[in-house]
């Protein structure tokens, strides 16, 4: 029986990068069964909510979920009573129990000159950001009045242990646990739990604790020193986007959000919906392609097919493919054909 994939094209450039990704997957002969649902702003327009119960149920019953991008000025609001596209993302992560967000960052030599950092700084960088995805300040109780607002940040020992375990298992040589233990109480618990887990189960892996402000500085001054970074939800959100600059464009970064083995994973590019270029045919589809590769690897156990996509992207870039965000002129169609020709 073929695997069931839920497609969430979303908003902006989302549909434009979803279609060529399906073309790429079909070229591999995967033969998946696809089902498309409105999500984010598109779902707000159609149903009044960013994530419908029917879409969540379909995602729970699928083998994997492939998401493009959500959001745009049309749905921006500070009114807490109005729906926002991002609420769909939070609801999907919570509903599927996706507590671990993986963002690999590996600048390609062909794109070193596209990075704002010097070649010698990024050379050899190959790191993974492991972000806790369902706890912390994003999901804590919120209050709002005319003159004040609050967001509660809470973490439990069990939540910290399970994300730290993902990081230790992924590490080749070192885990860098990032917190703000000099100020924040949740960070003090975080550091304590990570240290105890390391001693009990993963003492063969090097462990270091780094304060988040120092980690932000080290990411752009000595990125090759990192192997696996593990951190809480908000810090991970910020640091993974900072790490994206190392590759030369946020249009190059994929991500995987994983939960328990029986839960389907969610795979999506790190970039947003780019409404300023939507409909122009110039969006970079490479992060979406690489997210599909992560889906094949982590969601469906298809390592050879995942490696084939990643290799085709690498070779296309080595042959000179450059989309606009990488300083070139190739559009979505040209980028797709370049990758397909190297598959």
Let me know whether 92 and 120 are in one domain. no
**What are the Cα distances from residue 275, in Å, to 143, 149, 240, 278, 324?**
31, 30, 22, 5, 15
109 found inside a domain: no
110 found inside a domain: no
Distance CA 114, CA 83 (A): 37
**Residue ranges making up the domain that contains 275:** 1-104+252-343
61 found inside a domain: yes
Distance CA 176, CA 206 (A): 8
pLDDT at 95 (0 to 100): 94
CB-based contact 22:31 (threshold 8 Å): no
Let me know whether 78 and 20 are in one domain. yes
Last residue of one domain, picked from the residues 247, 264, 299: 247
Let me know whether 75 and 124 are in one domain. no
Total number of domains in the chain: 2
Let me know whether 79 and 151 are in one domain. no
318 found inside a domain: yes
DSSP secondary structure, 64-110, as one string: EEEEEE---GGG----TTS--HHHHHHHHHHHHT--EEEEEE---GG
Last residue of one domain, picked from the residues 223, 247, 271: 247
CATH number at residue 225: 3.40.718.10
pLDDT at 126 (0 to 100): 94
> Which DSSP state fits 299?
I
Catalytic machinery residues: 138, 180, 213, 237, 241
Let me know whether 299 and 212 are in one domain. no
pLDDT at 216 (0 to 100): 98
Distance CA 305, CA 298 (A): 12
Let me know whether 152 and 237 are in one domain. yes
Let me know whether 196 and 221 are in one domain. yes
179 found inside a domain: yes
Let me know whether 298 and 261 are in one domain. yes
Let me know whether 243 and 256 are in one domain. no
Last residue of one domain, picked from the residues 247, 278, 299: 247
Exposed/middle/buried for 305, CB within 10 Å: 0-12, 13-18, 19+? buried
> Which DSSP state fits 63?
S
111 found inside a domain: no
Let me know whether 92 and 159 are in one domain. no
Per-residue pLDDT of the chain (343 residues; tens, 9 = 90+): 789 999 999 999 999 999 999 999 999 999 999 999 999 999 999 999 999 999 999 999 999 999 999 999 999 887 778 899 989 998 999 899 999 999 999 988 888 888 888 999 999 999 999 999 999 999 899 999 999 999 999 999 999 999 999 999 999 999 999 999 999 999 999 999 999 999 999 999 999 999 999 999 999 999 999 999 999 999 999 999 898 888 877 788 899 999 988 899 999 998 999 999 999 999 999 999 999 999 999 999 999 999 999 999 999 999 999 999 888 999 999 999 999 999 9
- Count the helices and strands in the chain (H runs, E runs): 12, 12
Let me know whether 231 and 143 are in one domain. yes
Provide CB contacts within 8 A for 112, sequence distance 6+.
Answer: 119, 122, 123, 248
Provide CB contacts within 8 A for 186, sequence distance 6+.
Answer: 136, 153, 154, 155, 232
Supply the pTM of this predicted model: 0.89
CB-based contact 129:139 (threshold 8 Å): no
Distance CA 141, CA 33 (A): 39
Let me know whether 151 and 60 are in one domain. no
């Amino acid at each position: 029986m073929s695997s069931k994939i839920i497609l969430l094209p979303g908003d902006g450039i989302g549909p434009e990068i979803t279609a060529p990704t399906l073309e790429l997957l079909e070229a591999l002969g995967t033969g998946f069964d696809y089902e498309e649902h409105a999500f984010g702003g598109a779902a707000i327009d159609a149903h009044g909510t960013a994530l419908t119960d029917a879409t969540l149920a379909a995602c729970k019953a699928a083998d994997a979920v492939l998401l493009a991008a959500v959001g745009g000025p049309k749905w921006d609001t500070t009114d807490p009573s109005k729906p926002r596209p991002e609420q769909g993302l939070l609801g999907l992560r919570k509903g599927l129990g996706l507590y671990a967000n993986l963002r690999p960052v590996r600048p390609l030599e062909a794109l070193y000159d596209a990075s704002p950092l010097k070649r010698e700084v990024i050379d050899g960088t190959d790191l993974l950001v492991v972000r806790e995805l369902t706890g912390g300040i994003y999901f804590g109780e919120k209050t709002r009045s005319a003159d004040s607002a609050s967001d509660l940040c809470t973490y439990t020992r069990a939540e910290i242990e399970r994300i730290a375990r993902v990081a230790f298992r992924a590490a080749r040589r070192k885990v860098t646990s990032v917190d703000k233990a000099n100020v924040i109480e949740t960070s003090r618990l975080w550091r304590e739990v990570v240290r105890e887990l390391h001693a009990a189960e993963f003492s063969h892996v090097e462990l270091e604790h780094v304060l988040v402000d120092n980690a932000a500085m080290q990411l752009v001054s000595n990125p090759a020193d990192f192997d696996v970074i593990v951190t809480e939800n908000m810090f991970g959100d910020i640091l993974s986007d900072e790490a994206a600059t190392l590759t030369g464009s946020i249009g190059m970064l994929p991500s995987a959000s994983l939960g328990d083995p029986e839960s389907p994973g969610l795979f999506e590019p790190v970039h947003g919906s780019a409404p300023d270029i939507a409909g122009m045919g110039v969006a970079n589809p490479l992060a979406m392609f690489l997210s599909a590769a992560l889906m094949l690897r982590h969601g469906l156990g298809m390592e050879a097919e995942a490696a084939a996509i990643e290799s085709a992207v690498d070779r296309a870039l080595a042959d000179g493919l450059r989309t606009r965000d990488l300083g070139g002129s190739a559009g979505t169609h040209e980028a797709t054909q370049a990758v397909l020709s190297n598959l």
